[in-house]
Amino acid sequence: MLNAIREKLKGWVIFVLVILIAIPLVFLGVGDFGTNQKSYSMIVNDQIISISRLEQEIFRYKKILQKNYQGNIPTSYSNAFIKKITLDYLLRSMLINHHADELNLIYSPKLILEEIKNTDAFKTETGFDADLYKRQLFTLGMSSKEYENYIYRTGISNQLKQAVTDTSFLTKSETIDLKKFRNHIRIGEYILLKFNDIKKNIVISETDIKNYYQENKDSFLSQKKGVFRYLDINKHDIIKAIPINDELIEEIYNKNLSLGIYNQPEKYRINHILFKHTKEGDNEKIKQKAIQARKDLINNESFSLTSEKYSNDQETINNKGYLGEFYIEEIPSYLQTHITKLQIKEISQIIKSDKGYHLISITDKSKSYDKTFTEVKHNIIKDYRDEQGTRLYYNLSEKIKEDVFVGNKSIDEISLESNIPIIESKLISENNGYGIFNYEFIRNIIFSSAIINDQKLSEPIYINDDRFIIAKIKNYYKPKQLSIDESRDAIEALLITLKTSNKINVLSNNLIIDLNNSMNPEVSYKLKPFEVSIDSRDFSEEIKEILFSSNIDQKFLKYQLENKDILILSIKSIRYSDKTDNRSNDSFSNFIINTRSESEFNWYFQNLKKDAEIIYNEEYLSQN
């Protein structure tokens, strides 16, 4: 089957699966990016990872993040952080793959085939579609053999991981102690100061507003605004615009027809009875059953009754001796030769395999035929446009990137050469836009100093994998000074927040001093007792996290919550209980064994890392 797929897929490349697979394929050694020893990011046991290869993966990861977060990547994903996790994952994949090779782990062709046929990206409503598989392999220059290698590498790596994680265990005493700790109860006292309650009593005077405005006048400016001229390069628009005619379609059809791409091979409807080998080793008795069953079938007994009477395989009995409808290449090799020689309704000789003894018969067989031009015309048009449009899009993308980098062409010249019309935007501000300018990351780029002040053409700004823009400012409207009336609401809201924060901090600090010096706090703030378990619903998850990360301490401590409330508490004691809920225990047991197994796998990886010879390009990695 794999060879057949390969034959039908010559000349095609891959793109879509970069997103579908989630883990970049080059992490597993697929693809050659032309390594230069002087521009390496990392060397692992003499295997060089170039800077260009690493940066290509960082770029892909950023684009996926932009898509996942609608263009607003969280600030926690800094350039340094993304570079680090990309490099770490690349290192992990290389070391694990290398160790799997040393252990001679095997991932069979059958499993590779099952993985491909069960991938949603290659399925239509009727199941696996080889033509769809072919169409999905484009853009990275990946052949089907390379994709199968990716499946193979992933498979043996998963085998290795499972060998570690599936053999992890906890001792009985460890399990008891962990469950005991999980169900403990924390006892103490607390006061909760609510930010909004204090805020209600804050009053801001007109003098406060005027003074703040005068002292911070430069902060109260209108937003930057501008009108931009831009090119919108969309792969799907390019694909739709690819010209095609009947003569070209027929030429493609005839060429593919001669290559056998449109051939539908014979399909067999097969009856089958399996007589399984058993652990007892009484194979001769089983063979005698097969011999008797064959005699009954020759005497016109049905496969349904015969399977029920003689077979020891439950699946065969459940299926009433019917195997299904298959192409010859989908049938196990030990049956293929016999099937091709059988006449319709002829009963085979007894066939021996590692599973047992088999009897088969063909109930019907469809003829091999070539799909007609009408049947495949729509797919030919789609495939041709996809291939030509995708190639044109990436060639255009590279050309525009080069033109912008060199900086010797205007947006008008690039528009003329690429046949992409210039679009003029509506008025856009730093904080508000429309259409693609609704994305904050796009507004941040086009309102940068280089584009606004230096009048430069932007570098390509990727909206997703299939679309990017380049933009240039046309009209720029500088921020203007806002009057005190225009700034009043913002100043009042800011001063209320500042005064509330100051008041709640002073109040909480005084309460801490009083409580820790055994003095009674203000009458309006009484200590409340608590007894709380991890499953308690009396407190929010945030407060429970604080309670269960605090040590026993007679002193009171202060914590600020996300909503700006202040929590003052003291953990007085901890009570452990031997009575636990079995249902929650089962879930917790699963959790702790999973945690242990992942920890052991990480320990295994750290050992591989310790034994490897790794050289980092510190100068490059320290750059932002």
Write out pLDDT tens, residues 242-294: 999 999 999 999 999 998 888 888 889 999 999 988 877 788 889 999 999 99
Domain count across the chain? 4
- Does 200 lie in the same domain as 160? no
pLDDT tens, residue by residue, 479-488: 999 999 999 9
H/E run at residue 227: strand 225-234
Do 10 and 27 belong together in one domain? Answer: yes
Structure tokens at 402: 């080069």
Same domain membership, residue 73 and residue 28? yes
Q: How far apart are CA 273 and CA 267, in angstroms?
A: 19
Question: Stretch 55-75: mean pLDDT, rounded?
Answer: 74
Bridge partners (DSSP) listed for residue 464: 467
Residues 120 and 23 in one domain: yes
Model confidence at 343: pLDDT above 80: yes
* Pair (18, 150) in one structural domain: yes
409 part of a folded domain:
yes
Q: What is the pLDDT of residue 31?
A: 35
Would you place residue 70 in the very low, low, confident or very high pLDDT band (cuts 50, 70, 90)?
A: low
The Cα-based distances of 109 to 23, 226, 612 in angstroms read 22, 59, 30
Supply the pLDDT for residue 141.
43
Which residues constitute the domain of residue 108? 2-167+609-621
Smallest CA-to-CA distance from 87 within 31, 24, 140 is with 24
| Assessment of whether the complete model's pTM goes beyond 0.85 | no
Give the mean pLDDT of 488-511: 94
Is-contact 187 576, C-beta < 8 A?
Answer: no
CB of 306 within 8 A of CB of 319? no
Q: Are residue 472 and residue 510 in the same domain, yes or no?
A: no
Identify whether 39 is part of a domain.
yes
Instruction: Yes or no: say if 546 and 562 are a contact pair by the CB < 8 Å rule.
Output: no
Q: Is 211 inside a domain boundary?
A: yes
Average pLDDT over residues 366-377: 91
Shortest CA distance to 604 belongs to which of 170, 286, 157, 52?
Answer: 157
212/320 same-domain check: no
Does any domain span residue 412?
yes
Cβ–Cβ < 8 Å for 297, 410: no
- 238 with 393: CB under 8 angstroms? yes
